[in-house]
Every structure is written in structure tokens, then in C-alpha cells.
Structure 1
Amino acid sequence: MILHDLISFEVLRLIWWALLGVLLIGFALTDGFDMGVGALLPFVGKTDVERRVVINTIGPVWEGNQVWFILGGGAIFAAWPPLYAVSFSGFYLAMFAILAALILRPVGFKYRSKRDSATWRSSWDWALFVGGAAPALLFGVAVGNVLLGVPFHLTEDLMPMYDGSFYGKFLGLLRPFALLCGVVSLSMLIMHGAAWLSVKTKGMVAFRAQRIGTVAGMVAAAGYALAGLWLAFGIDGFHITSEIVKDGPSNPLFKDVAHEGSWLIAYTERPWILIAPILGFTGIFMAVRGLREGFEVSTFLWSKLAILGVISSVGLTMFPFILPSTVDPRSSLTVWDSSSSHLTLFVMLVATVIFLPIILAYTAWVYKVLWGKVTEDDVTSSHSAY
């Protein structure tokens, strides 16, 4: 027996669908609070020293947190090539905007305190705000567009063709439902950043973060509920109407898809997935409660649970779809017909089993070493502080 035959093609596809979700959730849990802190920076820090305190809560960890983003992109490229091809061709202007915003962060961290000028430092503070808020918003907009469907089709030789206009590659993505998803994403990560600041700071910085984070959490809960109602009554879902071959060749054109009904029919077919939105709402509610009452570590953990639930609910609701097509529903990409080969998925899984625990162990060690609050004395007395 060939080694990779020990795990069937169907199971490997499921594993890599789940691992892609794990990597994206890992990115939101870690780099998410970095983005939230950046979005909060101009509002929770009123003096230069306070803003330096805020920056130094994420300064030592933000770069490592972006490993999850790189791993997620790499997993899409290697495990789901059609998804990578369609998303990077159709969304490239939006992705360029995200990358441009993310680039502002390292530059802002390094250059902000190079000059003792209030105008100079304030300008970089707002650049860090953009570097946190813009990706948080646009990632949510991207999720909203995936739920709505993307205008692409596959040719007979499986070449992906994006049918949207040049205008549609950015401004056309800013549809009302997608913008609502962007608001949910931004407000949820602001809540997450506030929870982080409540752990890492004290005094007025922590107080302001808790106050803003409470409002952001309520906005996230209301937006999440509204998005669910919108999906139930205002947006058509996608459903496979032909026989599903789970271990066949990766050819999306071998199936038939209907663009009708509701995405939420998934909850009648698989009632157990209701756990995801329950976790999302519970996490948000408890995080808001923790921020209002001044809890620290527990609030941050509840905030993580909220992110886990919200993101999981999207993937579980859409399953087995990964990227549906509005132009030619038959071209929609699913877990069963858009993966790499059996051997490729197996080799990648072996590498993941080896290296993912190492990454997790190193990350845990870093946070253990850096545990504790950042104070004004820390940033004013240290030559290595930002």
C-alpha cells in the first residue's frame, strides 16, 4: 500500500478545509488584536507616552502574529489552487489595499519615535490606525462577498476567468451586505484589541479601551445578528443539486449547482453547527460584560471565543462551498472538487503535523516571556522601546 493511501482523498480534503479554517482563525485571534489595538491607538492614548504604551503592548509580538496570515496564504496556494487563482485575480485591488495598509505597521513602529515632533508622531499614529482598521474592515468585506458569490467562471480547460469589471475589483466589492460584514469584523477586532489592552495596560489607557471596546462589542453583536437575518431572508444561497463525488478528480464542472433558497438551510440539515453562532454571541456578550466590569484575562479569552464562533459559523454555513460563482454556479469551488492532488495534500499534512506544534510551542513561550503589563516607566526608561 502506498503511504498516502492510509488516509483517503475525501478525508484529506476535509482535513485541509478544517486546517484552512484553523489558520484563518489563528490569524484573527493573534494578529486580530494587533489590528484592533492599531484602530484604537489615536483614541485610547491622549499623550505621547500613553500612545507609546499602547504601541509597545503589540510591538514585540505583531510580527510573529502575522505568521498565521502567511501560513493561511500558503495553504490556499498549495491546497486549494483554484481558490488562490480566482481570489487573487478578482480581488487583487482589494488585496493590494490590505497589503499597503499592513505595510504601514512596521514602518510606523520603526519611524514614529525617530523625531521629537508632535506632528511627525501624530502622523505615524494615524498611519498605524489605518494599518489596523483598514485590513480589519476589508477582511470582513471579503467574507461578505464570498457569501454573496463572486462573478467568475471556469473555461472547459479549467482556466478561471473573472467576469467583473476593473471598477468591480474594488469598489464593486463594497456592496451593502459586504460592508455590514466589514463593520462586524472591524468592531469585533476593536473589541478584541480593547480586551488585549485591558490585560496589558492600566490607568486611563485601560479605562478608555474598556469603554470603547464595550461599544464595539455591542455593535459587533447587533451587526452579526442583522447579517444572520439578512442571510435568512434577503440573500440566495448555493446548493449542489447533482450527485456529490467526494473522492473524485478536482474538476468543479462535474457538478450542478442551484443559486436559490437560503444559506441557513444548512442548520436544518446539520443542526449541530448551531454551536458556532451560539459561541459567537456568547463570547461577545461575555467579553462586553468583562470589559464593563474591568475583568482582564477572562475578557480576552471570551473575546477569542467570539472570534472562533463568528468565523466558524461562516465556514460551517457555506460547507462544502469555498467560493461560489454568481455567473456560472456550476463553476463554484467546493471542498470536494477544488483541492490539490491526494499526494500533495498528504505531504502537506505530514509537514503540518511536524511544524505546527513547533510554531504553537514557540508562540506560547514568547507570550509567557512577555507576559505582564506595559507601564509608562517601561517605555520612558528603556532604550529599546518603540
Structure 2
Amino acid sequence: MFDFLFDYAVLRLIWWVLLGVLLIGFAVTDGFDMGVGALLPFVARTDVERRVAINTIGPVWEGNQVWFILGGGAIFAAWPALYALSFSGFYLAMFLVLAAMILRPVGFKYRSKRPEARWRRNWDIALFVGGAVPALIFGVAVGNTLQGVPFHFTNDLRPIYEGTLFGLLNPLALYCGLVSLAMIAMHGAAWLAFKAEGPVADRAAKFGAKLGLATAVLFALGWILVAFGLLGGYEVVGTQAVAGPSNPLLKDVVVAPQAWLANYAVHPLLIVVPLLGIAGPLLAALGFATRRDGATFVASALGVVGIVSTVGISMFPVILPSSTNPAQSLTVFDASSSESTLRIMLIATVIFLPIILAYTSWVYKVLWGRVREEDVEAPGSAAY
């Protein structure tokens, strides 16, 4: 049925939107998981308090990572050139992320296997690393993407990456890493304030108010950098065949000081998205201060949606710019899989994505309610 509904150009746009949805789903759900891990040493001072914090995410973190897997799978299947360049160019950074994330399931499963304080403290450190490091590195990756990645193609479309790990750790990328870390930690604090009881929730609210302000300020500073041309962008010039072959050599791209603002000039209503990225954290900070925990979590989630969406909207149609050969940057219209592949994947997504949303909603409904100290200390409980 999709044969006559969507042509190649529309399918590419749909998959660009779906990729954004999957990445936002990961940032919103697994984001608060990582945020709780990053805040664990600061909001929980005793073993019982740490168990309370861990048990707010223990039953759901594994399901939340489905969005991470779906996002990686979508890049692999729908945007093979993007997958090849990003996962090979950022290989060492991805290795650090995966190594840190591997610590999480082991920490959840083994932390309470033994009662010794040293044993549990070591696993608490592992959970902190598993939350903070991915949050930071994901932001660093976004920062490098905004600046452009050093790659080019040969005449037979073989990608060549010319960067190094230390090249990725440049000041602007590290700044974006701080934005990401502050955002994720804020979201984790919102979840703890909403889901936990007692001192853990109280401390999370205090940290969350500061993190909400920090996220809003850091994100707004990024817009100032773009507006004053300190963070240049990439702009497709001339006409690009939106339904043409996936060949990044068939267009021209130039570096322009304010290119990342161009889409907002053409479609002014889009400015709502970055404004949401500022307003959401500010409203969350207010919610932390007034202890409106449910509204705080919603505001924090909306802030995450606004910040992540801003990156995609600002860069469109570019998805991975090349700093060494801008004309060979990848765009939505020249880096996708074939038309038939996108169509088959869309049919599968229409069938299975609602199922994932349905069972995820059911799980959260079943696990509704706050985690208390007496819950994790109760004999025979399944607490972590």
C-alpha cells in the first residue's frame, strides 16, 4: 500500500523523522537512567539510599535501552553511509560508550550479591561511570557533527575518515558534552524526585534545580555562538535531486557562518523547538523548587525533546557534514538506502513500533508508585 502513497523523497523524509523519534525516545527514557547513575554519588549517602535510587530504574532500564538499539538499527538499515562513517570514525569514542554501558547491567545484577561495603561501593562507581560517560560522549559526538567530521569519499564511494580520538576532544565538542551531561543529569534528578521518597528525592530536587538552570544557560549559549558565527554551519547550494541516487558526490555544499539558522528564517515557527529546549529546563528548575514532581519530570522531558530536536532541525538536510570536503557531506537525500528498503522498513515500523509503545506503557503502569526505604529493606523483596 505504501507504493502509491510515498515516493523516494518522501520516504527519505519519513525516515529522517523516524530516526529523530528513535533518538529522542532514547534520550528521554534511557536518559533518566543514565542521569540517575551520574547523580548516584551525590543524592544517596547510605547504602539504603543508594538502593532506593537504583531501584527507581532497576526494573525499567533494560527496556529503555530498546530505543538505543532501534536507533542504531535504523542508522544501519536506513542510512548505511552515515552508519559506516560515524561508527568507524567515532570508533574509539563508541568503544568508550559501550564499555561504560556494559558496566551498567553488571552493576545492577551484582551490586547486592554481597553485603561488604567495599564491594557495593565499587559497583556504585561502575554505575556512575555507566551513566556519566555515555552522556558526556554522546554530546561530544554531536559537537563534532555540528562542526563537521574529517572524511571524504573516493571516486568509487569508499569512505575515508582522517580524524583521531584526540581530535574529537576539541573545546567546542567538550562544551556540547557538558550540555548533554547537564541535560541528562537534570532528567535523572527529575525522575528521582518523581519516583523516590525521602532524602534521595529531596537531594535530587536540590541538584535538579541547579542542573535545570545550567542546562538552559549552556544551551542558550550555544545559540549565541551560532548567531555570532562562532559555530559555523553547512549549507547545500544549488539544486539537489531529492529523489535521485544515494551519491554524496552529486551536489555542492559550502561552509556558512550562520547556516544552522537558515531553516528558522525560512520557517519561523520552528523557533518554538529551541525555545522549548530553554523553557523546559527552566520550568523544570521551577518545578524542583516548588516540588511539583510530576510536572517537573514532564518539563524536563520536553526540554530534552527540544534540545535533541534542535540539532536535527538546524542541520537539515545535512546529517553528517565533512570538514575536509564539504561538498561530500551526507544529506537526507543522498545517504539513504534504496527506495524498496526504506519502504519495507516503514511497513515493519508501522506494525512493530505501536507494539513497543504499548508494552512500554503497560510496564510503567504496572510499576507505578514511589520507591521507599522500607520497600528495599523488606525481607524477600525483589529489590536491587
Q: TM-score of the superposition, structure 2-length normalised?
A: 0.97
Secondary structure, counterpart of 1:50 in structure 2: helix
Shift of 1:281: 1.2
- The amino acid of 2:318's aligned partner reads F
CA distance in 2, matches of 1:383, 1:235: 52
1:251 to 247, 251, 254: 247
CA distance in 2, matches of 1:188, 1:197: 14
Q: Which residue of 1 aligns with 2:265?
A: 268
CA distance in 1, matches of 2:226, 2:160: 27
CA distance in 1, matches of 2:377, 2:166: 44
Q: Which residue of 1 aligns with 2:135?
A: 136
Establish whether residue 326 from structure 1 lines up as the match of residue 323 from structure 2.
Answer: yes
Q: Which residue of 1 aligns with 2:112?
A: 113
Establish whether residue 18 from structure 1 lines up as the match of residue 17 from structure 2.
Answer: yes
Q: Which residue of 2 aligns with 1:63?
A: 62
Q: Which residue of 2 aligns with 1:74?
A: 73
**Unpaired stretches in structure 1, ≥5 consecutive residues:** none
1:315-346 residue CA offsets vs partner (Å, 9 max, x unmatched):
00000000000111111000011100111000
Contact 1:177 1:227 (8 Å CA) reproduced: no
CA distance in 2, matches of 1:261, 1:157: 31
CA distance in 1, matches of 2:350, 2:327: 34
Q: Which residue of 2 aligns with 1:84?
A: 83
1:233-252 counterparts in 2 under 5 A? 233=228, 234-252=230-248
1:29-83 residue CA offsets vs partner (Å, 9 max, x unmatched):
0000000000111111111001001000000000000000000000000000000
Which stretch shifts more, 222-231 or 73-82? Answer: 222-231
CA distance in 2, matches of 1:192, 1:261: 32
- The amino acid of 2:207's aligned partner reads I
2:307 to 310, 318, 323: 310
CA distance in 2, matches of 1:355, 1:207: 39
Shift of 1:5: 4.2
1:224 to 214, 219, 226: 219
Shift of 1:9: 0.5
1:175-194 counterparts in 2 under 5 A? 175-194=170-189
Shift of 1:87: 0.4
- The amino acid of 2:252's aligned partner reads D
CA distance in 1, matches of 2:24, 2:338: 25
Shift of 1:285: 1.0
1:198-213 counterparts in 2 under 5 A? 198-213=193-208
CA distance in 2, matches of 1:69, 1:362: 17
CA distance in 1, matches of 2:152, 2:126: 38
Which stretch shifts more, 181-190 or 354-363? Answer: 181-190
Shift of 1:260: 2.2
CA distance in 2, matches of 1:57, 1:202: 10
- The amino acid of 1:185's aligned partner reads S
* Matched-pair identity in %: 62
CA distance in 2, matches of 1:324, 1:5: 32
- The amino acid of 1:90's aligned partner reads G
> Aligned in 2, Cα 1:193/1:3: closer, same or farther, shift over 3 Å?
closer
CA distance in 1, matches of 2:17, 2:302: 17
CA distance in 2, matches of 1:371, 1:242: 53
Q: Which residue of 2 aligns with 1:293?
A: 290
Secondary structure, counterpart of 2:160 in structure 1: strand
Shift of 1:105: 0.4
Contact 1:42 1:129 (8 Å CA) reproduced: yes
Contact 2:226 2:257 (8 Å CA) reproduced: no
Question: Number of residues paired by the alignment?
Answer: 381
Shift of 1:261: 2.6
1:241-283 residue CA offsets vs partner (Å, 9 max, x unmatched):
1212111111110001111231223321221210111111111
CA distance in 2, matches of 1:239, 1:94: 27
Contact 2:32 2:187 (8 Å CA) reproduced: yes
- The amino acid of 2:213's aligned partner reads M
CA distance in 1, matches of 2:202, 2:339: 52
- The amino acid of 1:342's aligned partner reads E
Q: Which residue of 2 aligns with 1:9?
A: 8
Shift of 1:3: 5.4
1:132-184 residue CA offsets vs partner (Å, 9 max, x unmatched):
000011111111110000000011111111012xxx2x221111111111111
CA distance in 1, matches of 2:329, 2:4: 28
Which stretch shifts more, 260-269 or 332-341? Answer: 260-269
2:354 to 353, 357, 360: 357
- The amino acid of 2:183's aligned partner reads M
CA distance in 2, matches of 1:141, 1:273: 25
> Aligned in 2, Cα 1:19/1:3: closer, same or farther, shift over 3 Å?
closer
CA distance in 2, matches of 1:321, 1:333: 6
Contact 1:280 1:310 (8 Å CA) reproduced: yes
Q: Which residue of 2 aligns with 1:123?
A: 122
